[in-house]
Structure 1
């Protein structure tokens, strides 16, 4: 057989220019009638900007693609350039400003600042209002600019990556690749666009790809070169014609045909190389069929919905109250002045004066705090390699009330080990496996045909079936045999067959070899067909020819729910499946069928005809398999594979349950397996009743179950997917009302969509925070639907981790993420938010007191750089240092998980705590400004002296208030206080326009008055806080005293 060329053509290095000229002349024709292959049904098309018909969204007609160097280049399809940037140099500033000023409060402060350009409204310096707003915008714009620069840098690297395009005079940049190009790929090279695999450097046509960047799965995937092109020379490939289905999102489906000369063959997803996958072995040649936004990768890339934290929603509601306060205070002061002749103007001026009540820096402080929390989480050595992918919701980690968890790979290790095999009359496990090995060693090639077969032959047949029926590929890495497979179950079974004496030594697309370890003899089989496992079919099968006997066999394994209808009648399968499930084992039923030559030829003819269909091809092929192969199989046995529990799962679940979190386990596994894992993992307490609901079809029976659960709120619900579907479709509200009250719910045989539906239902119905955790691609929908999504990097890949808000390595890390980091994030942000609000309120109260004393005139008390400094360098560092505070040590937080319950009740930031801070601000502001006016007076010539005393007392009050709020001191907190005070004292010489410095240096009057005012403002709130702590100590204080 001729070998495809593996040595690339000599190319010129890619140039630096960004020219869009294509190095090849390509002809791409949509909807072209093809003589040798049927076309897909035609649908509506989207119009290309240049007027060419092109399908870009998954709908539309098929496309016929040819490579013809004699024709002019045609650009009917999207460019292959990647662009993830949010802005361009022209749009950056306008878009950023729009995004910021669509928030009411930012727009409010902008209008306040602009109002100072109007002489009638001017109160102080324009800088007093512009600088705080500009600081907020500068921080936001800097962050956005940095993020966008990084996105552009990654885009440029990807777009300029050079590729070997056949017949091109030089390497072609990724962004210049077009539909119809023939691209030669090499090992470890990224696939630049969606392609049909035409040739592989392997004579068998096999190529392996890594798809972890596309679907998150870490296992290599096998791809097969198109048969009609694999044996052709490179020059012939320019005559290839491809009919491809319209672009769509489904990465596991593709329908098309490839024609070369008079030969046509149907192609499927097994013959494709999707963009952003990586060629893992050898070299390959492919024809580009989809580019840019038509590729599977682009169609599956959607903007993740922005998650808004519960704390932010609570702060927004409080901000509305503050806004109302500003309006009421302004109107009230004007009313007390009996609405003078310029009362509308006075109201506007008061609105400007009291604008500090709405803290412009609140959002910046909280965002900076979130950055600190993310840094602390990612650098916590006790939970290594934890990644914060969404830094906007760390506070929600401390507010979780419902935890929805996957089972396999999340609560269990996804580290499979073959534990048991049952053959109908006898079962083997543990040390008895040595007996299985002895039977296998006895006669590996025995094919006893007696009606009542000896046990040894039955064992050998079952082991042989397990050694053949799989998708495992053996390879040697550093001298060790490594098995690659799509499922860890299959790897465990193949390892077991090797341990009992039948080893898979070699496998490619067309054949496999087993080695009998006791005799070192080989058993060779031709692989005729493979029917892969899918979550829909729940089974996989393989048709092989035994070379030594020229016999054709069909082997199959799968879930008992489907295999029980395919195998011959028996009286033990259902009972033994239930027994293994109770032991927590994952079960597979194995069977076989010998095919006569006539039956196989008939099947082959029908199957090939179905494979050429361009409409419902998968269904047609599956029907042929079902009609000719999947019936009356000989039942060989039942396997039980153990999936061990993750490290510290039991203690973690117990801790979370004690923290008041209600836990739901959602799994696709069987009812008995789910029950067993729930018990072994302590998800269900000892002696707790498990109410099982399965195979519900009747609405009245469903209502009876709900009524029972309403009367038994301490019971645990175990429900299967079929019954769950009935509840979700017909009585959603009644179900969720009963279920959310239960301490635990176990849902098995769940689909990914059902998992997401449950997360959405709990979240919307209860209005509580829901955390979802999983490790597989089937958990992504649930994770994205959750208030907080946590992904585990596991053996099923990284897809869940990439889609999650937080990525961890083990389930037990979740306890620290919630109980410790969640607690700190929420309590710190709650305290920070209220203190920033207090900082704005107290200075506004001082202004109000002065305005009342000034006969309700809207005159500014603190002006210019005093206002700027108050919001930045004079208070910001100490206030922000509150994000480093902690009320209990980590050990106490874990020892008393009950402390977590208080967080879910939102006591740290509530209307009650908010109004307490308002009262404190009213008292302190009134005392500070009132006593300053009593001590200094209101004479105009003493105004600077009044400002000096009042502002200094105000600043000292804030610094000491921060100190009183801190529970656990550290060096940063201490030095932020000292340095801030030093900065303030050091700035006195620069504040001559605002302060009476002669009064400061002229005697003790300034000092004793300032000290007395500060003490009077601070002591009563401090006494009240101390008494409350003594009479009604908070929970954290109680555990510290214990």
Structure 2
């Protein structure tokens, strides 16, 4: 915190310097008023009109006492968090009540704008219509009338079109727009759509928007305008003060920060976090994981119930629609509450298709979350009908005419029920995340259903023998003994039916991952860290030659280090004396490549050419080698 007393002659320059340094400015002034003026000012103060009160207090006789610049430090990890969110495809808007220069300096400190604020030329309120600094484009809309705002927007459109950048359907990665609260209020108060649409066409193309000098009501208005312009976008607002409450309540998602200004934002928000840097795990990790979990809970609930209904319905074709029940009602009642409930908890609570380390290392995968569209819904429906059809056909054609046919229709129904339950268990195992990352809860959730089914059948078959008057277990009489006496054939029949029903799913997964794989599938392979001999470290590493170490050394660097100026520990040289080196010189480029791959394979390390990533200042797609930027 810093404070300085300035004379009236240079207060404007000092305040501008404070603002450009990212400090929050405050100017102190005094004025002698008469009794009549005091009465009139008191009447204005009762009306709670801030603008009218300020206008009544200001006057030519007001004496400047001094100005202060208070440093509002950015929390730890904010630049890194914002960088990850931008890589994930999110557009960051800063909406603040600070003055223009302070807001631009804050955006620069957060990594949203690559150049600092150098007074007086780079002050946002004094910017030219189009400025270019290190590939960052800064545009300002700060008119005091509708015509002036439209003129500024028109100039910006012409400048962007001249550069070949104007396209309302895309986002310009280097474009930063500074919007003044007075200009926003002027455009919104015009009450016709042309200025608002023109303004939003400019704002939606910017990767970053800095809205300064805005009131709490204007914050909510800006969020509402974005929602109206493109209803398909989801708006998320983050705030830590009481003046952010209207904005949090207007946005689809409100995140409140525990700040010094009380708990108003926490009470008004949908989520509450302690620091801003926790926003990236909240969105990229838990947001993505829970989106997938909810989707799979819905799809798996539909699938498992449709399998049972389709099995009972298709059996009617074998009985000529006589109404004969295939499965005992006791088993049907326990289908959802006993036999298939355990995997639902895994799907909805602990399932993770990609680990946290990999997701945070490749934030762009957030843009490729699987939507719950009609095609996926139909695939699960078709899978349920296909599984029930295959199992029922194999069972009815195999059990009919066998020596065990004397067990009755419930003997067949119990075998069909067991095969269907086992098929759903295998399906749930294929839907969960990679098997090498399973925990005990995954194995337990898959085993509890078949184990409970075997226990229920055995107990009910013996209950009727002990208590013949127990009508609930009448249909299970002797069923356990019949199944045990023919267990080899029953077991083989169930395994064949389950394998035949799951085979189409396995073929589909293999075909998809070989020929129509997505970035998520590639990241799952990267995330596995599996090799022929051992598992690699859970932390991704890049192996690059070290210029300051001997030739027989490699440097292991951490790609997850803070890229926003944080000091990282020095690289660790790894001796490579044990690497088998070929004594004969390679005869061709192909031989050189083969020799290099052999050395790398012997040490289970990455390609040294990966050091090109460390030498570039680029944004790169996680799996498609598409670069944005220039090499240093």
**Does TM, scored on the shorter chain, surpass 0.5?**
yes
Q: Distance in 2 between matches of 1:775 and 1:630?
A: 34
2:484 corresponds to which residue?
Answer: 1001
The structural deviation recorded for 1:832 is 1.7
Distance 1:978 1:812, change over 3 A: same
2:412 corresponds to which residue?
Answer: 946
Structure 1 contact 650–682 (Cα < 8 Å) conserved: yes
The alignment status of 1:1024 with 2:508, answered yes or no, reads yes
1:197 corresponds to which residue?
Answer: none
Q: Give every structure 1 segment of 4 or more consecutive aligned residues whose post-TM-superposition deviation is greater than 6 Å.
A: 619-629, 938-941
1:423 corresponds to which residue?
Answer: 7
The structural deviation recorded for 1:857 is 4.9
Q: Which has the higher contact order (CA 8 A, sep 6+)?
A: 1
Distance 1:993 1:748, change over 3 A: farther
| 2:279 corresponds to which of 814, 828, 850 | 814
The structural deviation recorded for 1:573 is 4.3
Q: Distance in 2 between matches of 1:823 and 1:701?
A: 42
Greater alpha carbon shift after TM alignment, 706-715 vs 941-950: 706-715
The alignment status of 1:688 with 2:136, answered yes or no, reads yes
2:439 corresponds to which residue?
Answer: 970
The structural deviation recorded for 1:618 is 4.5
1:843 corresponds to which residue?
Answer: 308
Distance 1:999 1:740, change over 3 A: farther
| 2:157 corresponds to which of 707, 711, 734 | 707
Distance 1:817 1:628, change over 3 A: closer
2:221 corresponds to which residue?
Answer: 757
The alignment status of 1:982 with 2:466, answered yes or no, reads no
Q: Distance in 2 between matches of 1:840 and 1:804?
A: 37
2:592 corresponds to which residue?
Answer: none
The alignment status of 1:581 with 2:19, answered yes or no, reads yes
Structure 2 contact 253–270 (Cα < 8 Å) conserved: yes
Structure 2 contact 139–176 (Cα < 8 Å) conserved: yes
1:895 corresponds to which residue?
Answer: 361
1:1035 corresponds to which residue?
Answer: 519
Matched residue SS, 1:743: strand
Matched residue SS, 1:769: coil
1:671 corresponds to which residue?
Answer: 100
The structural deviation recorded for 1:705 is 5.1
Structure 1 contact 792–807 (Cα < 8 Å) conserved: yes
| 1:770 corresponds to which of 235, 241, 248 | 235
2:426 corresponds to which residue?
Answer: 960
2:208 corresponds to which residue?
Answer: 744
The structural deviation recorded for 1:639 is 2.6
Matched residue SS, 1:766: coil
Judging by fraction of residues, say which structure has more strand: 1
Structure 2 contact 236–255 (Cα < 8 Å) conserved: yes
1:59 corresponds to which residue?
Answer: none
Q: Distance in 2 between matches of 1:794 and 1:758?
A: 23
Distance 1:1025 1:609, change over 3 A: closer
Q: Distance in 1 between matches of 2:396 and 2:49?
A: 91
Structure 2 contact 100–212 (Cα < 8 Å) conserved: yes
1:803 corresponds to which residue?
Answer: 268
The structural deviation recorded for 1:987 is 0.4
The alignment status of 1:728 with 2:166, answered yes or no, reads no
The alignment status of 1:1010 with 2:484, answered yes or no, reads no
Q: Distance in 2 between matches of 1:843 and 1:910?
A: 24
TM-score by length of structure 2 reads: 0.68
2:62 corresponds to which residue?
Answer: 633
Distance 1:634 1:664, change over 3 A: same
The superposition leaves residues 845-903 of structure 1 with CA deviations (integer Å, 9 ceiling, x where unpaired) of: 21232122333455543342222111110110123222311122211111110111112
The alignment status of 1:885 with 2:351, answered yes or no, reads yes
Matched residue SS, 1:898: helix
Structure 2 contact 143–152 (Cα < 8 Å) conserved: no
Structure 1 contact 659–898 (Cα < 8 Å) conserved: yes
Matched residue SS, 1:964: helix
Structure 1 unaligned residues grouped into runs of 5+: 1-416, 425-569
Structure 1 contact 775–800 (Cα < 8 Å) conserved: yes
Matched residue SS, 1:672: helix
Structure 2 contact 326–410 (Cα < 8 Å) conserved: no
Q: Distance in 1 between matches of 2:313 and 2:246?
A: 53
Structure 1 contact 606–624 (Cα < 8 Å) conserved: no
The structural deviation recorded for 1:574 is 4.0
The alignment status of 1:607 with 2:67, answered yes or no, reads no
Q: Distance in 1 between matches of 2:298 and 2:281?
A: 24
Structure 2 contact 4–66 (Cα < 8 Å) conserved: no
Q: Distance in 1 between matches of 2:345 and 2:251?
A: 30
Structure 2 contact 390–501 (Cα < 8 Å) conserved: yes
1:484 corresponds to which residue?
Answer: none
Structure 1 contact 947–994 (Cα < 8 Å) conserved: no
Distance 1:657 1:798, change over 3 A: same
Distance 1:833 1:617, change over 3 A: closer
Structure 1 contact 936–942 (Cα < 8 Å) conserved: no
Structure 2 contact 19–102 (Cα < 8 Å) conserved: yes
The structural deviation recorded for 1:703 is 5.0
1:449 corresponds to which residue?
Answer: none
The structural deviation recorded for 1:728 is 3.3
TM-score by length of structure 1 reads: 0.42
The structural deviation recorded for 1:946 is 1.9
The structural deviation recorded for 1:619 is 7.2
The superposition leaves residues 415-436 of structure 1 with CA deviations (integer Å, 9 ceiling, x where unpaired) of: xx12555435xxxxxxxxxxxx
Q: Distance in 2 between matches of 1:993 and 1:828?
A: 40
Where in structure 2 are the equivalents of 1:468-617 lying within 5 Å? Answer: 572-593=10-31, 595=32, 603-604=34-35, 607=38, 617=46
Matched residue SS, 1:750: coil
Q: Distance in 1 between matches of 2:66 and 2:39?
A: 31
Q: Distance in 1 between matches of 2:92 and 2:151?
A: 25
Q: Distance in 2 between matches of 1:625 and 1:664?
A: 29
1:864 corresponds to which residue?
Answer: 329
Matched residue SS, 1:644: coil
For this pair of structures, how many residues does the alignment match?
468
2:90 corresponds to which residue?
Answer: 661
Q: Distance in 1 between matches of 2:187 and 2:525?
A: 49
Structure 1 contact 663–743 (Cα < 8 Å) conserved: yes
The structural deviation recorded for 1:998 is 4.2
Structure 2 contact 237–255 (Cα < 8 Å) conserved: yes
Judging by fraction of residues, say which structure has more helix: 2
Structure 1 contact 759–770 (Cα < 8 Å) conserved: yes
2:376 corresponds to which residue?
Answer: 913
The structural deviation recorded for 1:814 is 0.6
The superposition leaves residues 270-301 of structure 1 with CA deviations (integer Å, 9 ceiling, x where unpaired) of: xxxxxxxxxxxxxxxxxxxxxxxxxxxxxxxx
Distance 1:970 1:624, change over 3 A: closer
Structure 2 contact 354–524 (Cα < 8 Å) conserved: yes
1:933 corresponds to which residue?
Answer: 396
Structure number with bigger Rg: 1
Q: Distance in 1 between matches of 2:483 and 2:360?
A: 52
Structure 2 contact 387–501 (Cα < 8 Å) conserved: yes
Distance 1:881 1:621, change over 3 A: closer
